[in-house]
Amino acid sequence: GAGVSQSPRYKVAKRGQDVALRCDPISGHVSLFWYQQALGQGPEFLTYFQNEAQLDKSGLPSDRFFAERPEGSVSTLKIQRTQQEDSAVYLCASSLALTSGPPNQPQHFGDGTRLSIL
């Protein structure tokens, strides 16, 4: 079956350009997470959606970062006026889990989008 799909796999942009990264979660998955992984580091949480509601955006590093999931399935992470420090792999993960209940639902990860800002 289809897993989490992210596109594009690679994105190169000039500093100051806007970029949009897409995530197609596994069908029926309620929870969707975005993570940012800098080179040589572990991923760090950016934001969380439960269906179409963005319940936690505490990890977004600045107001240049914006995420949406308008119909509760596909999500887009947008970065405006990109800076070199935005260069990273952006990972999307989805799961069946809701905000509470037994922790018995694993997160399924996409292959990520590697963003390079020149």
User: From the list 8, 106, 116, 118, which residue makes contact with another protein (rule: CB under 8 A)?
Assistant: 106
CB of 56 to another protein, least distance (A): 5
108 part of the interface to another protein, by CB under 8 A? yes
How many residues bind to another protein according to rule CB under 8 A?
A: 34
112 part of the interface to another protein, by CB under 8 A? yes
In this structure, are residues 94 and 31 in contact, taking their beta carbons and an 8 Å threshold?
yes
User: From the list 50, 51, 76, 87, which residue makes contact with another protein (rule: CB under 8 A)?
Assistant: 50
42 part of the interface to another protein, by CB under 8 A? yes
Which is closer to another protein, CB of 79 or CB of 91?
A: 91
99 part of the interface to another protein, by CB under 8 A? yes
In this structure, are residues 104 and 84 in contact, taking their beta carbons and an 8 Å threshold?
no
